[in-house]
Structure 1
Amino acid sequence: MLIAIGSDHTGIDHKYIINNFLIKKGYKIKDFGFSKYGEQVDYPDFIHPTAEFVNQGKADFGIIICGSGNGAAMTANKYHKIRAALVWKKEIAILARKHNNANIISLPARFINKNKITEIVEIFLVTSFEGGRHKIRTEKIPKILSSSAG
């Protein structure tokens, strides 16, 4: 399984912890994240390529990290096939997969303890989509804008 990962400067430590954990578990990683300590960057510059890679079907899942997780999720959700979920605890990771079929997990670096991050990521990756009524709902998420929309 191939996982795309992208982060801004606030997520560097979390990204390295996640990358090391995933590699030990046998996952392949495509790292789009920022890697220089002491510099500040704009999260969209690293989230766009991560989301695009998942959107194109080149990765099974994506992991994105910024300070609050919100900007990263908003950026990723601009892509038609992306369902990025803001996740900060195990229970939300489970529901993001079971009910929303999220394919990208957005993590708030400023609000997740580094000791808990791998557990949250692993739960997200191993939890299956339930389908059924949830499939009907997720199919209603994408919206194609008509040319007459103003």
Structure 2
Amino acid sequence: MKIVIGCDHGALALKEEVKKVLAEYPDVEVNDVGTYTEDSVDYPDIAEKVCKEITSGRSERGIVLCGTGIGISIAANKIHGIRAALCNDVYSAIMSRQHNNANVLAMGGRVTGFGPAGEIVRAWLTTDFEGGRHERRVNKIMALEGK
């Protein structure tokens, strides 16, 4: 599976920890689109880079990180074809995959500790979409993009 990851300056340390977790999975290939320093960057630019990799088909899923995860998740969800879920706990990560088929995980570097973030990533990465009645709902969500 190809995963693209990106962060702003507020989540650089968390991004590096998440990449260590992703390295636990030999079938996961990671593309890091930045940022690479603590110099200030705008999280919408990072969200756009990550989501472009997904919508182009070069990556299957993405992880976006900013200080709280809020701004970057809002920005990501503005992009056609993206279902970004801000997850602060394992249960939300599982549900975002099972019920919403989230293709982007968002977290906050200033609000999510390294240990919990690792568990969230593991749960999100290994949980499949259930389809069924959830497929209908996801289709309705995606149809909202055209309104």
TM-score in same-fold range (> 0.5): yes
Moved over 6 A (4+): none
| Shift of residue 95, structure 1, vs aligned partner | 0.5
User: Match for residue 79 of structure 1?
Assistant: 79
User: Match for residue 32 of structure 2?
Assistant: 31
User: Match for residue 45 of structure 2?
Assistant: 45
Secondary structure class of the residue paired with 1:116: helix
Secondary structure class of the residue paired with 1:122: helix
User: Match for residue 146 of structure 2?
Assistant: 144
| Shift of residue 90, structure 1, vs aligned partner | 0.2
TM-score, normalised with respect to structure 2: 0.93
Amino acid of the structure 2 residue aligned with 1:31 = D
Secondary structure class of the residue paired with 1:115: helix
Amino acid of the structure 2 residue aligned with 1:5 = I
Deviation track 1:112-139 (CA, whole Å, cap 9, x = no partner) reads 1112211110100110111111100000
TM-score, normalised with respect to structure 1: 0.91
- CA distance in 2 between counterparts of 1:2 and 1:114 reads 22
Amino acid of the structure 2 residue aligned with 1:25 = Y
- CA distance in 2 between counterparts of 1:104 and 1:121 reads 11
Higher helix share: 2
1:7 equivalent in alignment to 2:38: no
User: Match for residue 102 of structure 2?
Assistant: 102
- CA distance in 1 between counterparts of 2:22 and 2:94 reads 18
**Structure 1 unpaired stretches of 5+:** 146-150
- CA distance in 2 between counterparts of 1:82 and 1:9 reads 23
| Shift of residue 9, structure 1, vs aligned partner | 0.4
Q: Does the aligned pair in 1 maintain the 2:3–2:63 contact within 8 Å?
A: yes
**Structure 2 unpaired stretches of 5+:** none
| Shift of residue 56, structure 1, vs aligned partner | 1.6
Larger Rg: 1
| Shift of residue 41, structure 1, vs aligned partner | 1.5
Identity between Structure 1 and Structure 2 (%): 38
